[in-house]
Amino acid sequence: MHFVAIAIFVFFEILYLSTQGVTRSALTYIIAYSYEIAAFYFVALLYLPGVWSKYSREWHRLFFIVLIISLYAVFLGIVGLANQSLKQGKLISDVSAPMLIGCLLRAFYINLLAIAYSLGRFNIAKTKEAYEHKMLRTEAETKMENNFIRSQVSPHLFFNSLSFLYTKTLKETPEVARTVYLLVGMSEYALANEKEDDQVLLEEDIVQMQRYVELQQTLHNYRLHVTFNINLPGYDLDIFLPPLLFINFIENVFKYGDLNDKQTPAIIEMYANDRTLKFMSRNKVQNFQPTVSKGIGSVNAQARIKKYFGDQSEIIIFQADNIYTVEITITL
């Protein structure tokens, strides 16, 4: 791309000079454009990046820009006097007004191109750095939160206790035993897929979502009005994704939703084909809130989706009247 840009620049320069009746030898063109190209890259890649990073005040930067333009204009003046001296066979040191103006304009033109290129590179680098810093911070926060949650309970003690409760309650209170059974399944699944780069089948993750919905219904004696619809073509799609990618949104349905209104039941839907995966949840909120934010869990869940799927994902979250809706589309 640089060679093409240089070729286009030189071509139009020569074309313009020819329209003005100026003709030069090939060697003259090679020498002239060699030091102009060298000056461009020196200013754009070495001189100005140091100015941008070292000085933040505008007048400091302006001073060094004026300085480099002035120095290059002086250089062009010296080169011009040397050329005239060689042509006439005697030393020429007088700088005419047209020559001075021409050197200043040429110096300004070449350095303006260098400034534009250098600023573009600098801004792109800063934007990329800010984005990478934000993603690293989000990833670190998510990992820290997950590690904190996992460190609260020793897995062995936890499972031994749940197994004891399940055995003790199975005959006398099967409802409680069912709750314990669901907790064991959910916990085993979460701990088995605790690495950041784990990938699971969509079918396995849906089973986990169903367990969570059933657990909540069990805890509320099946009085909650929640519909969980799954539309997968025979569960025969080998779709892999990070574990528990949508569980936070389902948790928010039960945490913030008004699930006692039979007229407006909460709806959780999952749809997939060989090209698209869609998740949707819609629920009436308990109290009308002007903001659609649902805390750090929702933020982290959105960050995970964007981290793994990037521009192939679309997340739409909105609240209209008293209905909170989440729509997530992932292109496979």
Per-residue pLDDT band for 253 (boundaries 50, 70, 90) equals very high
The mean pLDDT value of the chain amounts to: 81
pLDDT (tens digit, 9 = 90+) per residue, 31-79? 778 888 888 888 888 888 888 888 878 888 888 889 988 888 888 888 7
For residue 317, the cross-strand partners are: 326
Residue 272 has a pLDDT of 87
Q: Please report where in the chains the tokens 């995970």 appear, as a residue.
A: 304
Helix (H, G, I), strand (E, B) or coil at 34: helix
What secondary structure letter does DSSP report for 257? B
Hey, what are 293's tokens? 């934010």
Task: Name residues whose C-beta falls within 8 Å of residue 96's C-beta, 6 or more positions apart in sequence.
Answer: none
Q: Is 310 exposed, middle or buried (0-12, 13-18, 19+ CB in 10 A)?
A: exposed
**Percent share of the chain, pLDDT over 90:** 16
pLDDT at position 196, please? 55
- DSSP label at 260? T
The single residue listed with the structure tokens 């995966």 is 277
Amino acid at 187: S
| Per-residue model confidence (pLDDT) at position 286 | 78
Confidence band (pLDDT; 50, 70, 90) for 14?
confident
For 20-59, letters b (16+ CB in 10 Å) and e give: eeeeeeeeeeeebbeebeebbeebbeebbeebbeeeeeee
Tens digits of residue pLDDT in 97-134: 787 888 888 888 888 888 888 888 888 888 888 888 88
Q: Which residue in the block uniquely carries the two structure tokens 């191109």?
A: 113
Q: What are phi and psi of 89, to 5 degrees?
A: 70, 20
Task: Please state the rounded mean pLDDT for residues 160-182.
Answer: 75
Measured between alpha carbons, how far is 250 from 227 in angstroms, rounded to an integer? 11
Distance CA 237, CA 249 (A): 23
Please check the confidence at residue 255 and state whether its pLDDT lies above 80.
yes
Give the CA diameter of the chain. Answer: 116
Q: Quick one: pLDDT at residue 95? A: 72
